[in-house]
Amino acid sequence: MKKITIAIDGHSSCGKSTMAKDLAREVGYIYVDTGAMYRSVTLYALRHNMFESDGTVKTEALKAEMPNIQISFKVNATTGRPDTYLNGERVEDEIRSLEVSNHVSPIAAVPFVREAMVAQQQQMGRDKGVVMDGRDIGTVVFPDAELKVFVTASAEVRALRRFDELQAKGMPADYDDILKNVQERDYIDSHREVSPLRQADDAILLDNSHLTIAEQKAWLMEQFKKATE
């Protein structure tokens, strides 16, 4: 069976990462969570006071610090899934907070941040056998990926999923705040000048609003088998 590159793009909180992680584990591929990479840069910026009071990014300060921001992934022995590390520190839980969610879209829209992250992502996937999810994997990072999937779900369904996820982790969560965040991120991600979120012409659309995890996994495995025949 030939090794391929799998690009999974889509809206925030639609389960892309879970889907990509499960597929990678099932088929023995490397998984790269690109959203976690942008969240890690956001966490670094928050910790180093790189946002103005109105939420805009202090771009000059961030640009000077970009060489000091190293992101890596290590498999968690307990979960069997990769955790995100920022400069050697495990930040998997911190980067999922609502504060990071509220600041990640402006960070992801900064051209030099995207340039740095895309270069790292392309390096990670140069030998194929990789599953990568994000906003621009099938359009910018790996336009020649053999399997591209674009995932979506209604904003209300996605907000409820994020709410449940935060509650399960014992983190503070307010459904209305989360729904507002999901809608704002959709707008910013789709309208930014650099690498806006859009479905690649050759991507397969998956609306998982009303699919179970098992149904989604079965559908994705079917697409994988078709792409590797």
pLDDT band at 93, cuts 50/70/90? Answer: very high
Distance CA 187, CA 191 (A): 6
Q: How confident is the model at residue 196, as a pLDDT?
A: 85
Q: How confident is the model at residue 56, as a pLDDT?
A: 94
Q: What is the tens place of the pLDDT at every residue in 143-188?
A: 999 999 999 999 999 999 999 988 998 988 899 999 999 999 899 8
Strands 30-33 and 130-134, sheet pairing: parallel
Q: Which amino acid is at 202?
A: D
pLDDT band at 137, cuts 50/70/90? Answer: very high
Q: How confident is the model at residue 32, as a pLDDT?
A: 87
SS3 57: strand
pLDDT band at 75, cuts 50/70/90? Answer: confident
Distance CA 101, CA 98 (A): 5
Q: Which amino acid is at 13?
A: S
SS3 87: coil
Mean pLDDT to the nearest integer, 4-28: 91
% pLDDT > 70, the chain: 100
Mean pLDDT to the nearest integer, 53-69: 95
% pLDDT > 90, the chain: 69
Q: What is the tens place of the pLDDT at every residue in 76-89?
A: 888 877 899 999 99
Distances (CA, A) of 186 to 28, 100, 101, 192: 32, 15, 12, 10
Q: How confident is the model at residue 106, as a pLDDT?
A: 93
How many CA atoms lie within 13 Å of 53's alpha carbon, on the beta-carbon side? 0
pLDDT at 1 over 80: no
DSSP E strands, 91-146: 130-134
- For the chain, the average pLDDT equals 92
Q: How confident is the model at residue 77, as a pLDDT?
A: 85
